Amino acid sequence: MGKGGGSHDGDDEPRGYYPGLLRMIFGPCALHTHTLKHLAIARGFKNVDQLLASLGKKAHEISLKEAMAMLQEESHEEFMESGMSYFYSPGKGYRPCNQLLEEFLKPKEPHLINVYRRNLMKYCGYTKEELYSLKLKGKQ
């Protein structure tokens, strides 16, 4: 899987540049590659190719959702604790989910709050209820 290889699943937006609000919406391809990379590490492989060989699949045959589910199964507490749960932010690269959570709880850019919430749910596995209760706790 060379640079940026794999299927693009209809993701034709130019990578690395998103005007305005869109820069907060993460590139699905990059996130997919990144998740597979972490899954390979978690399972003790040297690279993604070895992981794929062990699964008998090509990268595009594993959906992002599947890859994330597999990574969650592998994730021992310390693996998650070390901020290995990532989201991809164009222009900022990979950032741990807990950074996104901080931004959500104490937004520097309040107009992005809904984008943060959506992405926490989509990429970091939070439920709407969890996010609201965290928000309430923060206000006490």
Cα–Cα distance, 28 to 131 (Å, whole number) = 23
Determine whether 87 is exposed, middle or buried from the number of CB atoms within 10 Å of its CB (0-12, 13-18, 19+): buried
Phi/psi of residue 103, nearest 5 degrees: -60, -35
Nearest alpha-carbon partner for 130 in 111, 140, 117: 117
* Domain limits for position 129: 24-139
Kindly indicate the confidence band of residue 65, based on its pLDDT and cuts at 50, 70 and 90.
confident
Query: What is the predicted pLDDT for the residue at 54?
Result: 92
Q: Domain for residue 127, yes or no?
A: yes
Q: Domain for residue 114, yes or no?
A: yes
Kindly indicate the confidence band of residue 68, based on its pLDDT and cuts at 50, 70 and 90.
confident
Query: What is the predicted pLDDT for the residue at 91?
Result: 57
Contacts of 31 (CB under 8 A, 6+ apart): 64, 86, 87, 88, 123
State the pairing for strand pair 86-89/93-96: antiparallel
Q: Domain for residue 18, yes or no?
A: no
Strand, coil or helix: what is 95?
strand
Q: How many domains does the chain have?
A: 1
Q: Domain for residue 39, yes or no?
A: yes
Structural contact between residues 92 and 119, judged by C-beta atoms closer than 8 angstroms: no
Structural tokens at position 76: 């021992």
Q: Domain for residue 78, yes or no?
A: yes
In the chain, % of residues over pLDDT 90: 4
Examine the pLDDT at 56 and tell me if it is beyond 90. Answer: yes
Nearest alpha-carbon partner for 92 in 41, 16, 33, 34: 16
Give the pLDDT confidence of 70-109 residue by residue, as tens digits.
777 765 444 444 444 566 555 555 666 777 788 888 888 8
Query: What is the predicted pLDDT for the residue at 127?
Result: 85
Q: Domain for residue 11, yes or no?
A: no
Query: What is the predicted pLDDT for the residue at 88?
Result: 58
Examine the pLDDT at 133 and tell me if it is beyond 90. Answer: no
Cα–Cα distance, 16 to 92 (Å, whole number) = 9
Query: What is the predicted pLDDT for the residue at 23?
Result: 35
Query: What is the predicted pLDDT for the residue at 100?
Result: 79
In the chain, % of residues over pLDDT 70: 59
Q: Domain for residue 33, yes or no?
A: yes
